[in-house]
Amino acid sequence: MSLTLAPEMRAVLDRLLAEDGVQPDPTLLPPAEGRAAAEAANRRWNGPEPAMARELRVETPDGRRAHVFLPAGDLGREAILFIHGGGWAFCSAATHEGAARQLAVETGAAVVTFDYRLAPEHPYPAGLEDCLAVWAGREAIFAGRRWSVAGDSAGAHLAVALMFRLNGRDLPAAGLLFYGVFDADFESPSYVEVAEGPGLTRAKMQRYWDFYTPAAGRLEDPCLTPARAPDALLAALPPLYLNAAGIDPLRSDSERFSARLAALGRTDRFDIVPGVVHGFMQMSRWLPQSVAAYRRAGEVFRTLT
């Protein structure tokens, strides 16, 4: 795998450096400060485009506020619960509004985003329990739709953990998993190759893990390290689409998870997007590879459901 940045990715990183300068590592700041920095950095990717046919703010049965994006051409058949990333500690439904819009347009489904409790104040399994509560109450948001789940980074991790916890009952129709966290092996090929970034680094990812849960037991709990889950849990998952960024410490996580699934004879789809860094799908306003990745996810979603 080449670790050369695509010209478009390099241009985005150069533009960010010119606009913001060198920013402090949010994982080294007090949680509230780190969270504010992550919010500021990520909200830049939001905007009124792509426009939706309707946008709703609703309250879930567990009292959580959710944002619903309904694209033009929505036929009232499909809905996707989108779980935002941010290392289980940062970001929000608001930082991923642009992602939700893109996902709605390309899949043709209603996309529902929400906030869950964040580490380190609320470590595992608090955020996962919030995801399960929203999933259980989804019919109060839209009754009669076929529901799938999606997530990016730690959100993809939570999406898989949610499906494991459902234990074969009331499962999503499909899962869309973008550059997810599926293992905790900091000596994997990509963790070694991309240890210093650009973007996400091995040290940052280690701190995210420490925020979320102690090291003891990580490798034994499939809801923490899905790439090590028993075959039976993996076989019971609905059809999946996975992608990974080529220049990302987490690339090997997706490669290993995909290999485990394929070894069971499953036909899940997996793409590696070369020349881009972790989080690239947040950058659809400036990065053509991001737009193409959503388009690809939409194409596959229609075959999975």
Catalytic residue among 92, 268, 278, 284: 278
Q: Residues 127-156: pLDDT tens digits?
A: 999 999 999 999 999 999 999 999 999 999
The span from the CA of 253 to the CA of 261, in Å, is 12
Catalytic residue among 84, 96, 148, 153: 153
Place 61 in a pLDDT band, splitting at 50, 70 and 90. Answer: confident
Is the pLDDT score of 47 beyond 90?
Answer: no
Active site residue 248: yes
Q: Is 125 within 8 Å of 57 (Cβ atoms)? A: no
Residues comprising the chain, all counted: 305
Report the candidate in 90, 158, 94 with the shortest Cα–Cα distance to residue 124: 158
φ, ψ for residue 110, nearest 5 deg = -70, 135
Which tokens in the block code for residue 17? 């450096």
Catalytic residue among 248, 253, 254, 268: 248
Place 160 in a pLDDT band, splitting at 50, 70 and 90. Answer: very high
Active site residue 115: no
Is the pTM value of this prediction over 0.95? yes
Active site residue 278: yes
The span from the CA of 164 to the CA of 296, in Å, is 25
Q: Residues 169-189: pLDDT tens digits?
A: 999 999 999 999 999 999 999
Residue 244: the pLDDT is 98
Place 49 in a pLDDT band, splitting at 50, 70 and 90. Answer: confident
Q: What percent of the chain has pLDDT over 90?
A: 91
Residue 2: the pLDDT is 87
Q: Residues 220-276: pLDDT tens digits?
A: 999 999 999 999 999 999 999 999 999 999 999 999 999 999 999 999 999 999 999
Place 75 in a pLDDT band, splitting at 50, 70 and 90. Answer: confident
Radius of gyration (C-alpha) of the chain in whole angstroms: 18
